[in-house]
Amino acid sequence: MRAKLIEVAAFLDRVERHGVEDDFRCAALREAAALLADGRPERARRILEHLSDPTTAPEAVSSGKAALGAWLAPVVPSARPVRRR
């Protein structure tokens, strides 16, 4: 257990050192840590579901990446505002 906690701490140190703490994986890790500490049962299942891709349909085109460590929800493009003249 000690080694796993140190590994997480080292990851967070590297992230902060390189200034990418707003990366989606870091946000997912923070959210998973909150689930870990919330005192509710089934932590392992809830954390696994939180980090996993909930979709069931295959991607039309592969992203080329196998495992990212956390699921990144696709960004839905917003409608462009209509310019009035």
Each residue of 16-63: pLDDT tens digit?
Answer: 888 877 788 888 888 999 999 999 999 999 999 998 888 888 878 877
In a domain, 39, yes or no: yes
- Answer yes or no: is 56 within a domain: no
pTM: 0.67
Residue 71 lies inside a defined structural domain of this protein:
no
Predicted local distance difference test score (pLDDT) of residue 65 = 64
Range of the domain at 17: 2-51
Is residue 64 assigned to a domain?
Answer: no
Residue 32 lies inside a defined structural domain of this protein:
yes
How many domains would you assign to the chain? 1
Would you say residue 7 lies in a domain?
Answer: yes
In a domain, 77, yes or no: no
Q: How confident is the model at residue 84 (pLDDT cuts 50, 70, 90)?
A: low
User: Of 62, 28, 65, 64, which is closest to residue 48 (Cα–Cα)?
Assistant: 28
Between the CA of residue 78 and those of 18, 60, 69, 81, what are the distances in Å? 30, 21, 27, 9
Q: Which of 35, 37, 47, 23 is nearest to 14 (CA)?
A: 23
Is 66 a member of any domain?
no
